[in-house]
Structure 1
């Protein structure tokens, strides 16, 4: 059953949702900051234009030295029309864009050219309050006339009358409001678009991660052969993760296979050891039962039975010793490395074989001294088992050759006989424990011990054989030892 954990939805706790929320939040923050800065800049620019116009009009009146009576005279009418007095139609509007009002020292609006103050002029005077303070301030102020925002400034005439000049900023605020709505509308659409693009992009980028989850789930269910496939357009980090995960899965599979093989080998080893030990124990038990029942009355029979018991005891002792040797090799013991003359060990093994089988032709190719960094007792055991294998499984008149040579930092030891040889299927199992080709003599542990000792030294052992062509065992060892 395939499970797509990343696709089943985890709310805001999923990586996809977190990345989307992060991108949307950053864009929203950027939109808010950009909108605020742009609106502030626009407001400053437009207000600066309004203030500049008001300041120019104030300065023109301030330098004219006019009085309110002079403004009332016909000689000043044209100037006032151009500079101060608004159009009659504008005066009738409740909230004109520009308001000019004359106020006395008490802050009350007064008429100009015999015209009573309009409602807008009266409202402006009331909103300003202290015209004297406003005239002393170089910058215009913000006031509200009938809930309409104005920028207003004041100038004092030579007779003490104050002229208020106000320009409506309602259009400016309305424009800023529309710009704000437009920015937030476009920003919202951008946020929605970014969220959709991020979700699609993240989902596409996370497909390899979903494949990894599926593969891991399948492996957890027992299928160790699966690997994470490569995506079409992988990112560098995801590809590195895929390669690392596949490498780890390969190691896990190898370790699992090795463990299963070791467990099976151990079970087979225990079964074979029990079988091998049962044979001498059964023989010993049988002779003891015969003796206990008084069935060995003849001295010759008792002697023969005793010899058989001793032989089976010796056989069982050798088997136990070999089993202990293999057990120690499986535990990877620390070798006692020192310089060993391998040529001398080869010659000693050949002499032992001559003493045991004088009629066997033996050829030794190990002249001079050849030093290797190795455990001497282990090498003696290797040579003893190889020679013993020849002695046990070949006729006594079959020639055997022991060769020793150095090559590229390694030493090659060959023990070859001209015996009957092995079939291909038997040669493939020759290093298995308790394997005996054709059910021959021996415990079947000799070559297994040879392989264990050679592996402990960091070397290699191989077998070359064929039916009727003899058996050639080649041991390759490093000259500097194995750490």
Structure 2
């Protein structure tokens, strides 16, 4: 049984110590009881032997065997005689003989005369083991021995057992702890391997799952070895699945990159021909002009989607970005100015420090991060919403926040907000919606710069926070 919250080591040590304590207690109790029984039996044999000649005695020699001056049979520790209404006796108390009192004699007179030893508590002198016999001349003689000998031996044995038991418990706890911890070392190594695997990121990218349980801990003849073998088999299976997933993702990324690259040219051609057709001097029917306008608009939207997909594919492949000083303050001013002109129904605010804020990175990609965040606020908030762009810098990082007081992002959508093709609207209509790639580009570009992005949203307050490493002096 393993109490809740206890480690296996603690539970095993506690079990061993408890088992030792129970066995020691039972063994000690049995030893004490058996030894006391043997001592009492020895006393019974002594008083029985002393009483044997008394039963056969007759004549003047035994007229007063209970007088202290004459000492009774076998010099017993206690002798009492009862005859013709008279009673006398003595007891050896601390090496001296003294006569028994009337109360003590009354306690002894009621002893059964069938020669079976019994224990009597004699007032003033303690427990005695006594036997009563009747002699030939009719005298009842009670002969006894004190139980102090058995009691003292029992106490001494209890003291020795208690001391040895305490020492044994301490030794069992110490040695048992060492042995158990040593025996569980293979299990700890297996757990350490599993813990290292649990800390690896397996959800994306190329994964090299090289961790395995050491061969010394995979002996199938032991329980720990069986666990180690099972974990290694599981890791082999997981590694194979991860490699298959990686190959599949690589093929998908390659396809997306190749398809995006190949689509750029025909899309540009479609857009160019549509624009050229609209500029034709000859009269063009209004329906045809409207169709060409729609072709040009959709080709622009598709071209943007292709460019986003191509960018994500390149970032997934780990292609390096440009590394040059970028003035984030100027990027924020320019981006907010463009959005203010494009969407005057929103209130656009800037919260910038007095000094310019710079980072090292790719200016075009960082501009895209800012534009995507501002565009997201524009598309998903009603007219009159205030959108605030703020910059802060310290010695370790630069923080860019885009906050709005709109209706907020639904709680069930927030965990997937930065996933690809996650949209705020459930419809497939793209007239007023988005491709669902804007926030995923924000995260990919930010992480490519060694930073992070997070979202905090509730009704009336939505804040996107981008953190980038501060430039080193």
TM-score bracket relative to the smaller structure: 0.3 to 0.5
Give TM-score scaled by structure 1 length.
0.47
Higher normalized helix content (fraction of residues): 1
- Structure with larger Rg: 1
